[in-house]
Amino acid sequence: MALSTALQVAQIVIAITLILVVVLQMRGSNVPGVFGGSDSASVFSTRRGLEKTLFQATIVLAIIFVLVSIASVKFAS
């Protein structure tokens, strides 16, 4: 398998994983939170446990996705 093909496959896998992590984050929020609104009780809440892990995973996956995308452009044949 060529490097450019491996990078494209990695991009697809990371993108699907990133989408799933974002959807899992949204599952815990209420309907107004999905559309940009929020409850006054949830505005000042601190992320703990699984919510914090999902938030950090989203950031890491986004950074990895950008780096793989840049590498994909660099090594495109």
* 39 Cβ contact list (under 8 Å, min separation 6): 30, 32, 33
Is residue 60 situated within a structural domain?
A: yes
| 7 touches 68 (CB < 8 A) | yes
Q: Which domain holds residue 58?
A: 3-30+46-74
**Which tokens go with 22?**
């974002």
Per-residue pLDDT band for 51 (boundaries 50, 70, 90) equals confident
Is residue 51 situated within a structural domain?
A: yes
Per-residue pLDDT band for 37 (boundaries 50, 70, 90) equals low
Is residue 17 situated within a structural domain?
A: yes
**Which tokens go with 11?**
């991009």
Q: Is the pTM of this model over 0.95?
A: no
Domains of the chain: total: 1
Is residue 10 situated within a structural domain?
A: yes
Is residue 39 situated within a structural domain?
A: no
pLDDT at position 27 is 73
